[in-house]
Structure 1
Amino acid sequence: MTSNSRFQVRPLLPEHIPWARVIITHSNIFHSPVWPILYPTDLTCRAYAFFTASEKLMTLNTLTGLSYGLFDTQYTFKHPSSIPTGGKLHWDLTNTAATPQELLHQMDFPLVSIAMAHDAAEPRRDGSEWKEVIDILPRLATLFGEVEKNDERDEGIWKPKVMGEVIYRGGTSTRADYEGLGCAKMLAHACMREWKGRGYRGMQVGVAHPAVVRIFTEGLPQGMRGSVVARLDTRGYEEVDAEGGRVRPFEVVHRWSPPWSKPLHWRSSLMVMGMPPIPSSQIMRSAHQG
């Protein structure tokens, strides 16, 4: 699965688990359009907590054999001690004064982007693998729950009873020092071709950034099509708090985001073998539910 002379797509192996965990941690805690705004304090401590909490989830996803990474074949190591093992994570979880840039510098390995995935019908999935991660980012549960409620498709489309039909993407992250190079798209499209070759008919992914939505809905590999099947309007989403008042928990995110960020969370479905998307009229109704 070679993409070009510099970057290579390879299956993620057990030895890559710490690297994948730290990439998804650094990306979510420091560079997400949502999480560092909702949870702006003690970011380094939160990053360490997220890294620790992600072990079960990321290990399960790596061991599926369906998760891939993009590797920089021209990567230059920053620390001599990283060379013998082909890369090394140098985080010190007791150093709470480390800055995001320092933490990025300590990620001294050639893995630059990850595409975590598992089979939608995998029997060992009961949702418990997300619990510790959600404890660090509680509003992640809100996004998952509300978008699922807004998905008007028949469950049989995206919750198959047998394996080998639908892929669930469980993490899309690129290192901050490789953003803008097309790494996420390169990796995503290579994975799509691979999964289609294995006989999968579709893929589903939750997305919280407009640029990532475009990866899964525009300019797809030949024979594939993607669509947004459910949305959560995070600008208008309201809840009733403990005192009975109405609150908008994501409103603060939009104070720091440009107008095009509405809505901020999507569920996209990639159609690789003609699975029909729901009509656009239904998509728009979904966007205004809740």
Structure 2
Amino acid sequence: MPLPPQYEIRSLGPEHEEWARAICFYTNMFHSPLWPVVYPENKPRRLYGSFQAGHYLIQHQINSGYSLGVFCKDYQFRRPESAATGGKLYWDFNDENATEQELLEQMDFPLVSIAMAYDGYHALDMTKIAPLVETLPLFGAVYHILGDLDKRDPSSWKATAPGQVLKRNSTSTLKSHEGRGLMRQAAEEMMRRAAAQGFRGIQIETISAAVEKVWSNPPPPFKGNVVARFHTLTYEEKAESGETIYPFRPGNTSIAAIYVDLQPR
């Protein structure tokens, strides 16, 4: 499916950071197959908290120069003051009664989908991610579990210098723009760009079946491999009391780590 003509894919810059962050955490709080299910209460408050705590995560990826956004070229601004600046976010962080629709209408900008990434050699500072994990405790658990399940020798794939492995983190499309192939088009564009820049691979963690399908089945000559996976309904841990617990229930989705080989032999 080609990119519909009303959209264009562009590299994200610092001027887009707040918009990208809003899309990331809004879609995660309201439309993810996991987070609204395991954290069903106080969604506006959790959205505001994750949005504020997620600044470093989004900024790091935009500053890398590798993150992409899909923009709607015929977007109609809701407010004249938004048009004057090219777009604006109007969330009131004290309004914990805001509805999902009200929060969406307060996102008055043409960015509609994001594909965030950074050079794996320049790893995230986990001390700066800690506030986000406090807001979404299972966010950190996802990466820890996938890391334990991934049986590859780290030296076989991890970056030892800049420009080797791209790390993908945060894939989000506003619901009103889903079903048009935007996520796939941005993903494949990122693969092509990364390969042209000399990267040998891209690592991504997914909690969406649609995202997993795209990244595990990339276009030739690229090859995707699921290197770790667990299901939220069946994943279990032992509590200190010895009791078996299921920390991701009632979430019902597959969570996977995928490595895309950009330079297959």
Same fold (TM over 0.5): yes
Q: Compute the displacement of 1:118 (Å).
A: 0.7
In structure 1, C-alpha distance between the alignment counterparts of 2:115 and 2:157, rounded to whole Å: 19
1:3 to partner: Cα distance: 4.9
Counterpart-to-counterpart distance in 2, 1:77 and 1:165: 40
Q: Report the alpha carbon displacement of residue 4 of structure 1 after superposing the two structures with TM.
A: 5.1
Q: In the alignment, which residue of structure 2 is the partner of 1:62?
A: 62
What is the deviation of 1:242? Answer: 4.1
The match for 2:124 is 125
CA distance in 2, matches of 1:93, 1:158: 41
- Equivalent residue number for residue 258 of structure 2: 268
User: Which residue in 1 is equivalent to 2:107?
Assistant: 107
Between the aligned partners of 1:193 and 1:231, the Cα distance in structure 2 is 25
Query: What secondary structure, in the 3-state scheme, does the structure 2 residue paired with 1:133 have?
Result: helix
Q: Does 1:221 align with 2:219?
A: yes
Tell me which amino acid in the other structure corresponds to 1:138.
P
Aligned position for 2:190: 191
Code of the residue aligned with 2:124 in structure 1: it is R
Preserved CA contact (<8 Å) 1:10 1:68: yes
1:21 matched to which residue of 2?
A: 21
Q: Which moved more, 1:222-231 or 1:25-34?
A: 222-231
CA distance in 2 between counterparts of 1:78 and 1:158 reads 46
| Aligned match of 1:77 | 77
Question: What TM-score do the two structures reach when normalised by structure 2?
Answer: 0.95
Q: What's the secondary structure of 1:253's corresponding residue? A: coil
Q: Distance in 2 between matches of 1:231 and 1:211?
A: 15
Q: Secondary structure at the match of 1:205?
A: strand
Cα deviations by residue, 1:183-225 (Å, 9 ceiling, x for unpaired): 111111111111111010110000001111111122x333112
State, as a whole percentage, how many aligned pairs show the same letter.
36
Report the CA distance between 1:139 and its aligned residue: 0.9
Q: How many residues align?
A: 264
TM-score of the pair, normalised by structure 1: 0.87
- Verify: 1:143 aligned to 2:105, yes or no: no
What amino acid is the match of 2:261?
M
Unaligned residue ranges in structure 2 (runs of 5+): none
Q: Which runs of 5+ in 1 are unaligned?
A: 255-260, 276-290
Name the residue aligned to 2:211.
Answer: 212
**Which one-letter code corresponds to 1:97 in the other structure?**
N
Q: Deviations over 1:145-201 (max 9, x none)?
A: 111111111102332211111000011111122111111111111111111110101
Aligned amino acid, residue 221 of structure 2: G
Aligned counterpart, 1:173 = 172
What's the CA shift for 1:5? 2.7
Contact 1:115 1:188 (8 Å CA) reproduced? yes
- Superposed CA RMSD in Å reads 1.6
How many angstroms apart in 2 are the aligned matches of 1:217 and 1:242?
Answer: 36
- The residue type equivalent to 1:204 in the other structure is Q
